[in-house]
Amino acid sequence: MISKDQLGYLAQISKIKLSEDEAKKFPEQLDKTIEYIDILEELVSGDSFVLDLQEIKFDELRDDVIRMSGGQRINKNLTKDGFLRGPKMK
């Protein structure tokens, strides 16, 4: 069972503030999900291995060149009162 502390820790590392209602119902819901994925434990890993779906070679990467993009539009998403605002450092 996920404890109140564990849920608090997961919320903290995920940077999400939970509402009272969520803090109450999430432990049971997350427990059920974890119980469900616990079936993976049965899997004997002996001869199995991780196989990437697709291997990308370094020399296949595109060249790192500067391209023009829609500056105005980006600014519209970035600015608040004409400034980019971030949280205050301690």
Partner 1 sequence: MPKLQDLQAHEVVQGIKEGLFTAEEYVSSVINRIEDVESKVRSFITLDSERALTSAKLIDRKFKEKEDIGQLGGVTVGIKDNISTKDIRTTCASKILEDYFPSYDATVIRHLKDNGAIILGKLNLDEFGMGSTTEYSRYHPTHNPWNLDYVPGGSSGGCGAAVATGECTVSLGSDTGGSIRCPASFCSVVGLKPTYGRISRYGLISYANSLEQIGPICRSVKDIVMILNIISGKDIHDNTSMSSSPITINNKIDKFNIAIIKELIDGSDLEVRKTVYSASEKFKEIGCICNEISIKNLHYALPSYYTLASAEASSNLARYDNIRYGFDLPIAEYKWDTYFSNVRKNFGEEVKRRILIGSYVLSSGYYSKYYLKARRLRSLLKLELLKLFKKYDLLIGPTMPILPFKFGEKIDDPIKMYLVDINTVLANLAGIPAITLPIGFSNGLPIGLQIMAAPFEEQKLIDVSNALENTINIQRRPSLI
Using CB under 8 A, list all residues that contact partner 1: 7, 10-19, 22, 26, 29-30, 32-34, 36-43, 45, 48-51, 53-54, 56, 60-62, 69-70, 73-74, 76-78, 80-81, 84-90
Residue that the structure tokens 């009272």 belong to: 20
Residue 83's beta-bridge partner residues?
80
Minimal distance, residue 1 CB to partner 1, in Å: 13
Closer to partner 1 by CB, 5 or 81: give it.
Answer: 81
Round the CA-based radius of gyration of the chain to a whole number and report it: 23
Residue 80's beta-bridge partner residues?
83
Residue that the structure tokens 């974890």 belong to: 34
Minimal distance, residue 5 CB to partner 1, in Å: 14
Q: Is residue 20 within 8 Å of residue 27, measured between CB atoms?
A: no
Minimal distance, residue 79 CB to partner 1, in Å: 10
